[in-house]
């Protein structure tokens, strides 16, 4: 028996179909080891930055199963992903399972041919790739731990910084400061409705006047003047198809066309890859294999005709791209549609269209510009642009890339146009737009910050840390993000600069290529970095973020107020704090502040309880927090949160609404004595599904579902937890 180990169960399922009965395919379910949370144990800096790995929580059973299978196997094959992360997982598996001579195979697509070819040509674990991943992990931990520790002391407990996350935040804040400093100017847009023979159309003034007097003059002359065609410019142009998708361009296009976030795009792409439908989705290469090009040629000539095919070669933008890697493409180009879910189908069709279009003929179009003057140039000219497709070419395969077409009527130079009406719209100049997730990915790639596999994680980290908020597709920096970025820009300018971050990425690439040493890279970085951090230990704690507006005085003592930072963001505090606890929101509304209760803490018995304001309302906690972590919800707030549904585990408490780091959930009011919790709001009914394993009905609480599943069982082990699957099995 030969044992093949991959990362995900879905990937294992697909590969198992392509290998014979002699092979057993199992999944490690991602990483089996990681650095411990405590940095003191994680990295032995004195011993050449040696990392100390621990078995990931919950992976004990996986390791036990794989160890037993490996001992029985004649051969162990590690088939983890084709990148640094995959190489690291393979190495960790080899170390933990005690494998002496494991075979390492890689493939960029999960097809029968690719998998069997990989099995026929195994190699050893690539130590350079593994070291590059380890160096990135160690660097990120050292930077994050040291910088975060300093920020905790100087700004606020619980904040963090990161080697790539912080430069990304700085880019967002630089744009935000441009927006704040922007001074709008008034201008006017003037349009005119005219007609040529029987065809009406609208012209735009070539100037946008800043003075009202000039606007009035143009309107007056326009209403009475003669509108004559001064020039008609016709230019035949070609539009070349775009390169096949890389990770970055896929994330950008999926955002603009489908509205998917980078993390969602990568999640869907991962499913498509594991199902064997697309090639590996973490790549910065635009290269297509000869076999793929042959498939595309066959599809194009058969579907659209010989004149639609044109071979193109694309140069990858990244200087470190390995051309042996491929762009993201369908594994079988003849399949125009594939995927299980609606999201998978949409993303697959997007990838298919871009791949096929990349090897098609240029589209040809006629661009037309009509210039019209009034009274032989008495006022600025008016014009209109239009286009007409002469040959659609690659746009027939990717029509969503077409854009709007505005075909103009046929007119001749010197022709007099009939004037109908003139319109004036007053506007203001606009500041530069904030970044969307797609826009930030593009900017990071342009500045060579991060790598394809890290973009989605960067976005998620910024949102999870509360440094950025997503409103629609737009990223808005929070007050917390502003303060953290400003602190880092002031004190660690070099370490969050574009050039330094990009150079460090290049050094990691050189480790992967065997051109640079792991230990030397870390020493060269960490020595100066740790000195820089230590030199900032003497700076004062930043508790004052500036004076609040004079019109907002302390609601308790009437004195001036200052801005401070809390977990919820900026707020106004009395300048005499802690003598006075007066506080306001940034909008000026009074905050009640903490209130001491005449009740001792039931946990420590040493301090009084305090009533405080939290992100989700009032709560009661020990005055000695964080030494004593006793906390309970305010009685009034708790009453509002009760659902009226009795807990079916302890039968004492009621299920109540709560909020955690992952959003809303419902748990027993008797917590911590009863820790029963469910994901959605209970309906008040219990599950009546007959379960053989329980010898009777399930009895778990039913909870609200979705539009397609109005109600479902809260017990994940119950088939009624997913009624769709239950119905299908029947």
Question: What average pLDDT is seen over the chain?
Answer: 90
Phi then psi for residue 659, to 5 deg, are -125, 140
The token pair that represents 44 in the structure block: 């032995």
HSE-CB at 204 with a 13 A cutoff on CA atoms is 10
For the cut 70, the answer to whether the pLDDT of residue 614 exceeds it is no
What is the Cα–Cα distance from 555 to 132, expressed in whole angstroms?
56
From the candidates 131, 260, 273, 280, which is the catalytic residue? 280
What is the Cα–Cα distance from 17 to 11, expressed in whole angstroms?
10
What is the Cα–Cα distance from 246 to 263, expressed in whole angstroms?
15
The token pair that represents 633 in the structure block: 């919800």
For the cut 60, the answer to whether the pLDDT of residue 177 exceeds it is yes
Q: If you write DSSP's letter for every residue of 393-410 in order, what string do you get?
A: GGGGT-GGGS----PPPP
Residue written as token pair 């000039």? 214
Q: How far apart are the first and last CA of the chain?
A: 36
Residue written as token pair 């639609």? 308
The answer to whether 280 is a known catalytic residue is yes
Q: What angle do CA 486, 549, 169 make, to 5 degrees?
A: 20
Contacts of 559 (CB under 8 A, 6+ apart): 553, 574, 575, 576, 580, 582
For the cut 50, the answer to whether the pLDDT of residue 145 exceeds it is yes
Q: pLDDT value at position 523? A: 94
pLDDT digit string (tens) for 434-463? 999 999 999 999 998 988 778 888 999 999
Label residue 393 left, alpha or beta by phi (over 0 means left) and psi (-120 to 50 means alpha): left
Give the range among 656-660, 682-686, 687-691 with minimum mean pLDDT.
Answer: 656-660
Which helix (H) or strand (E) segment holds residue 15: the answer is helix 9-18
What is the Cα–Cα distance from 329 to 279, expressed in whole angstroms?
6
Residue written as token pair 């203001």? 428
DSSP alpha helix (H) spans, 225-363: 247-253, 262-274, 290-303, 342-357
Q: What angle do CA 108, 114, 117 make, to 5 degrees?
A: 125
pLDDT digit string (tens) for 191-209? 999 999 889 999 999 999 9
For the cut 70, the answer to whether the pLDDT of residue 40 exceeds it is no
Beta-ladder partners of 239: 363
Q: pLDDT value at position 323? A: 41
Domains in the chain (CATH in brackets) are 2-125 (3.40.50.140), 136-181+435-535 (1.10.460.10), 186-236+365-387+403-428 (2.70.20.10), 247-361 (1.10.290.10), 561-637 (no CATH), 643-729 (no CATH)
Of 238, 159, 103, the closest CA to residue 464 belongs to 159
Q: Region 563-569: what's the mean pLDDT? A: 82
Percentage of residues in the chain having pLDDT higher than 70 = 96
Q: pLDDT value at position 82? A: 86
Torsion angle of C-alpha atoms 682, 688, 690, 695, degrees rounded to 10: 80
Phi then psi for residue 448, to 5 deg, are 65, 40
Q: Region 563-579: what's the mean pLDDT? A: 86
For the cut 90, the answer to whether the pLDDT of residue 319 exceeds it is no
For the cut 60, the answer to whether the pLDDT of residue 54 exceeds it is yes
Q: pLDDT value at position 664? A: 83
Residue written as token pair 């002496």? 100
The per-residue b/e assignment along 214-231, b for 16 or more CB within 10 angstroms, e otherwise, is: ebeebbeebeebebebbe
Helix axis angle for 127-154 and 518-535, nearest 10°, is 0
Confidence class for position 6, pLDDT limits 50, 70, 90: very high
Number of Cβ atoms within 10 Å of the Cβ of 236: 9
Going 488 to 493 to 498 to 499, the CA torsion angle's sign is negative
For the cut 90, the answer to whether the pLDDT of residue 678 exceeds it is yes
Q: pLDDT value at position 593? A: 66
pLDDT digit string (tens) for 623-661? 887 778 887 776 777 777 889 999 989 988 999 988 776
Q: pLDDT value at position 662? A: 65
pLDDT: is 626 or 118 the higher one?
Answer: 118
In contact, 70 and 93? CB cutoff 8 Å? no
What string of H, E and C letters represents the secondary structure of 46-66? CCCCEECCEECCCCHHHHHHH
Strands 2-6 and 75-78: parallel
For the cut 50, the answer to whether the pLDDT of residue 388 exceeds it is yes
Residue written as token pair 């994940």? 716
pLDDT digit string (tens) for 694-707? 778 898 999 998 77
Q: pLDDT value at position 182? A: 96
Contacts of 707 (CB under 8 A, 6+ apart): none
Number of Cβ atoms within 10 Å of the Cβ of 108: 25
Q: pLDDT value at position 316? A: 72
The token pair that represents 617 in the structure block: 């309302």
Q: pLDDT value at position 329? A: 96
What is the Cα–Cα distance from 585 to 583, expressed in whole angstroms?
7
Number of Cβ atoms within 10 Å of the Cβ of 15: 23
For the cut 60, the answer to whether the pLDDT of residue 320 exceeds it is no
Long-range own/partner contacts, residues 189-192 (CB < 8 A, 24 or more apart): 189/424, 189/425, 189/427, 190/215, 190/218, 190/219, 190/222, 190/422, 190/423, 190/424, 190/425, 191/422, 191/423, 191/425, 192/222, 192/227, 192/382, 192/419, 192/420, 192/421, 192/422, 192/423
Of 329, 324, 321, 352, the closest CA to residue 452 belongs to 321
What is the Cα–Cα distance from 630 to 619, expressed in whole angstroms?
11
For the cut 60, the answer to whether the pLDDT of residue 324 exceeds it is no
The token pair that represents 611 in the structure block: 């009533």
Class of residue 632 by CB neighbours under 10 A (exposed 0-12, middle 13-18, buried 19+): middle
For the cut 90, the answer to whether the pLDDT of residue 710 exceeds it is no
Strands (DSSP E) contained in 505-607 are 561-566, 569-574, 583-584, 590-591, 595-600
What is the Cα–Cα distance from 33 to 342, expressed in whole angstroms?
35
DSSP symbol at 414: T
The token pair that represents 533 in the structure block: 């951090």
For the cut 60, the answer to whether the pLDDT of residue 525 exceeds it is yes
In contact, 679 and 715? CB cutoff 8 Å? no
Strands 2-6 and 711-713: unpaired
In contact, 24 and 9? CB cutoff 8 Å? no
Q: pLDDT value at position 198? A: 83
3-state helix, strand, coil in the chain (%, to 5): 35, 25, 40
Q: Region 484-498: what's the mean pLDDT? A: 94
Confidence class for position 322, pLDDT limits 50, 70, 90: very low
Helix axis angle for 518-535 and 498-512, nearest 10°, is 150
Q: pLDDT value at position 543? A: 77
For the cut 70, the answer to whether the pLDDT of residue 617 exceeds it is no
What is the Cα–Cα distance from 431 to 177, expressed in whole angstroms?
10
What is the Cα–Cα distance from 361 to 294, expressed in whole angstroms?
15
Cα dist from 340 to 52, 182, 262, 268, whole Å: 41, 48, 20, 10
For the cut 70, the answer to whether the pLDDT of residue 51 exceeds it is yes
Confidence class for position 726, pLDDT limits 50, 70, 90: low
In contact, 632 and 640? CB cutoff 8 Å? no
pLDDT digit string (tens) for 405-414? 788 888 999 9
Which helix (H) or strand (E) segment holds residue 365: the answer is strand 363-374
What is the Cα–Cα distance from 614 to 619, expressed in whole angstroms?
7
């Amino acid at each position: 028996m030969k044992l093949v180990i991959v990362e995900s169960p879905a990937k294992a399922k697909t590969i198992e179909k392509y290998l014979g009965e002699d092979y057993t395919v199992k999944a490690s379910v991602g990483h089996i080891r990681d650095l411990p949370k405590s940095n003191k144990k994680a990295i032995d800096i004195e011993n050449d930055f040696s990392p100390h790995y621990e078995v990931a929580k919950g992976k004990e059973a996986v390791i036990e199963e794989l160890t037993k299978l490996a001992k029985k196997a004649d051969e162990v094959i590690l088939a983890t992903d084709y990148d640094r992360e995959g190489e690291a997982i393979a190495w960790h598996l080899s170390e933990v399972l005690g494998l002496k001579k494991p075979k390492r195979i890689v493939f960029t697509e999960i097809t029968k041919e690719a998998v069997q070819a990989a099995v026929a040509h195994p190699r050893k674990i690539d130590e350079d790739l593994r070291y590059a991943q380890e160096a990135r992990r160690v660097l990120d931990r050292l930077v994050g731990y040291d910088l975060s520790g300093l920020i905790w002391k100087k700004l606020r407990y619980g904040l963090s910084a990161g080697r790539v996350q912080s430069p990304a935040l700085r880019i967002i804040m630089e744009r935000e400061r441009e927006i704040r400093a922007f001074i709008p100017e008034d201008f006017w847009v003037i349009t005119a409705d005219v007609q040529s023979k029987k065809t009406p159309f609208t012209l735009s003034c070539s100037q946008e006047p800043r003075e009202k007097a000039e606007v009035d003059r143009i309107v007056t002359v326009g209403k009475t003047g003669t509108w004559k065609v001064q020039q008609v410019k016709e230019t035949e142009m070609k539009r070349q198809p775009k390169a096949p998708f890389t990770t970055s361009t896929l994330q950008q296009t999926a955002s603009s066309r489908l509205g998917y976030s980078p993390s969602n795009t990568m999640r869907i792409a991962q499913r498509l890859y594991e199902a064997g439908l697309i090639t590996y989705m973490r790549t910065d290469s635009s290269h297509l294999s000869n076999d793929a090009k042959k498939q595309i040629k066959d599809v194009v000539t058969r579907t659209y005709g010989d004149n639609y095919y044109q071979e193109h070669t694309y140069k990858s933008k990244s200087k470190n791209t390995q051309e042996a890697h491929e762009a993201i493409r369908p594994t079988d180009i003849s399949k125009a549609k594939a995927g299980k879910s609606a999201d998978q189908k949409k993303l697959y069709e997007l990838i298919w269209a871009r791949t096929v279009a990349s090897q098609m003929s240029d589209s040809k179009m006629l661009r037309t510009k009509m210039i019209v003057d009034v009274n032989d140039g008495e006022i600025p000219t008016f014009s209109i642009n239009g286009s007409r497709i002469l040959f659609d070419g690659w746009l027939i395969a990717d029509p969503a890339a077409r854009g709007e077409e505005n075909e103009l009527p046929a007119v001749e130079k010197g022709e007099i146009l009939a004037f109908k009406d003139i319109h004036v719209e007053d506007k203001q100049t606009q500041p530069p737009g904030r970044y969307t997730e797609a826009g930030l990915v593009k900017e990071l790639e342009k500045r060579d910050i991060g790598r394809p596999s890290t973009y989605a994680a960067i976005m998620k980290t910024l949102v999870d840390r509360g440094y950025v908020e997503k409103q629609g597709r737009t990223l808005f920096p929070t007050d917390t993000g502003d303060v953290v970025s400003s602190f880092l820009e002031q004190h660690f300018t070099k370490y969050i600069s574009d050039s330094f971050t990009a150079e460090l990425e290049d050094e990691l690439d050189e480790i992967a290529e065997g051109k640079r040493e792991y230990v030397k890279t870390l020493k060269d970085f960490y020595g100066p970095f740790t000195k820089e951090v230590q030199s900032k230990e003497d700076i004062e704690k930043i508790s004052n973020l500036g004076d609040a507006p004079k019109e907002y005085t302390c609601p308790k003592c009437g004195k001036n107020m200052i801005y401070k930072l809390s977990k919820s963001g900026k707020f106004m505090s009395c300048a005499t704090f802690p003598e006075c606890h007066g506080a306001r929101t940034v909008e000026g509304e009074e905050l009640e502040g903490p209130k001491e209760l005449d009740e001792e803490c039931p946990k420590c018995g040493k301090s009084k309880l305090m009533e405080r304001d939290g992100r989700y309302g009032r709560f009661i906690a020990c005055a000695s927090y964080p030494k004593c972590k006793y906390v309970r919800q305010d009685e009034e707030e708790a009453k509002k949160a009760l659902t009226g549904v009795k807990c079916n585990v302890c039968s004492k408490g009621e299920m109540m609404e709560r909020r955690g780091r992952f959003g809303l959930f419902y748990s027993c009011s008797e917590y911590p004595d009863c820790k029963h919790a469910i994901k959605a709001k209970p309906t008040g009914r219990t599950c009546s599904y007959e379960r053989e394993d329980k010898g009777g009905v399930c009895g778990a609480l039913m909870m609200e579902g979705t539009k397609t599943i109005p109600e479902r069982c809260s017990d994940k082990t119950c088939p009624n937890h997913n009624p769709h699957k239950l119905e299908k099995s029947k």
